[in-house]
C-alpha cells in the first residue's frame, strides 16, 4: 500500500477544524456550530462530549459519513434536514424535505394562543400544518383542546403523524386544501401558510425547502387571503384566529380581516391575532 492509498486518520478536533474552514469558505456564517452538529450527529454524541474528547480518533466509516453530511451542508442543505429534526418550543420535531423547517418566530403563535384562548374553546385547527409543530404544541400545552392538523400535502401529513405519535399528542389529521375538506366549526384557527414572495431576498437554504410550503402569489398574501375568506363560515362566535406572516404584510391582513368581521387583538413578532366578535 503506497502512502496515497492509506486511509486518512483524523481526530475529532482535526475533522472539526477542516469542516469549519470549508463551511466558512462557502460563506456559511454558523460554520463551527454546523460542523459540531454534524459530527455530534454522526457519532451519536453530544457537542459537549465532543469538546471533551477532541483528540479521540475517528474511524474510517465515521469520517465517510461525516464527510457526506458535510457535503450536503456545503450544498446549502439546512442542518435540520441533515440531522432529521428541529427543536420547537423545547421539543424535537422530525423534519424531512417535504415540510418547512420550524422557525423560532413561529413560537409567537403559541404565546398568543395561550394568552387569548377564548373561554370554553374546545376545537382548534392548524391549517397547513407541515411538520405539525404548531398544532401538536398547542395540544401538548393545552391538553383540553381537540386539535385537528390539516395540510394539502399527504407527505407533510405523514411527517406530522409521526411527530404526533413520537410526542404522544392525540390529534386528528385531515388532508385538505385550506378549509375546504375540514368538517364542522372551530373555536381557534392557527396557520403558518406560505407567505414568501419569490422576489424577496432570502437565504440559499430556502431553495432546499418545499416551494408549496414557502411561496404564494399576490406579494405572498394569496393563500392567507383565501383562508380569511373561508373563515366566517368556519368560526364560532368569539373565536380566535392566529396567523403568521411577514411584518410588512400585517397591515393588509388586519384590514382584510376587519372587512370580514375579524377584529385585530394583538401582534407579536410575526404572529397576528384576530377574533370574531
pLDDT of residue 6: 47
Q: Which residues of 166-200 are buried (b: 16+ CB within 10 A; e: fewer)?
A: ebebebebbebebbeebeeebbbbbbbbbbbbeee
pLDDT of residue 233: 83
For the segment(s) 7-75, the CATH number from 1.10.8.10, 3.90.230.10, 3.40.50.300, 3.40.50.2300 is 1.10.8.10
How far apart (Å, rounded) are the C-alpha atoms in residues 103 and 96? 14
One DSSP character per residue, 154-207 reads: HHHHHHHHHHHHHTT---EEEE-STTTT--S-EEEEEE----B-TTS---GGGG
Q: Per-residue pLDDT tens for 138-159?
A: 999 999 999 999 999 999 999 9
CATH number assigned to the domain covering 86-276: 3.40.50.150
Domain spans, the chain? 7-75, 86-276
Intervals of the chain under pLDDT 70: 1-8
Amino acid at each position: 500500500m503506497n502512502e496515497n492509498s492509506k486511509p486518512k486518520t483524523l481526530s475529532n478536533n482535526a475533522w472539526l477544524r477542516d469542516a469549519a474552514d470549508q463551511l466558512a469558505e462557502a460563506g456559511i456564517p454558523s460554520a463551527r456550530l454546523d460542523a459540531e452538529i454534524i459530527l455530534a450527529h454522526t457519532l451519536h454524541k453530544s457537542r459537549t462530549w465532543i469538546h471533551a474528547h477532541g483528540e479521540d480518533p475517528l474511524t474510517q466509516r465515521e469520517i465517510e459519513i461525516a464527510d457526506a453530511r458535510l457535503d450536503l451542508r456545503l450544498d446549502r442543505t439546512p442542518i435540520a434536514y441533515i440531522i432529521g429534526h428541529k427543536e420547537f418550543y423545547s421539543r424535537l420535531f422530525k423534519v424531512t424535505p417535504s415540510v418547512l423547517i420550524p422557525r423560532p418566530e413561529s413560537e409567537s403563535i403559541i404565546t398568543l394562543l395561550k394568552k387569548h384562548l377564548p373561554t370554553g374553546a374546545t376545537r382548534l385547527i392548524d391549517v397547513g400544518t407541515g411538520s405539525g409543530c404548531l398544532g401538536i404544541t398547542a395540544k401538548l400545552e393545552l391538553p383540553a383542546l381537540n386539535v385537528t392538523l390539516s395540510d394539502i400535502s399527504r407527505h407533510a401529513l405523514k411527517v406530522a403523524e409521526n411527530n404526533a405519535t413520537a410526542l404522544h399528542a392525540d390529534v386528528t389529521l385531515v388532508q385538505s386544501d385550506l378549509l375546504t375538506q375540514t368538517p364542522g366549526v372551530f373555536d381557534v384557527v392557527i396557520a403558518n401558510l406560505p407567505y414568501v414572495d419569490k422576489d424577496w431576498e432570502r437565504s440559499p437554504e430556502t431553495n432546499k425547502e418545499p416551494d408549496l410550503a414557502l411561496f404564494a402569489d399576490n406579494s405572498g398574501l394569496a393563500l392567507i387571503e383565501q383562508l380569511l375568506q373561508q373563515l366566517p363560515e368556519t368560526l364560532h362566535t368569539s373565536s380566535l384566529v392566529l396567523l403568521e406572516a411577514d411584518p410588512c404584510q400585517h397591515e393588509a391582513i388586519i384590514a382584510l380581516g376587519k372587512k370580514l368581521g375579524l377584529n385585530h387583538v394583538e401582534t407579536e413578532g410575526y404572529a397576528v391575532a384576530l377574533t370574531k366578535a
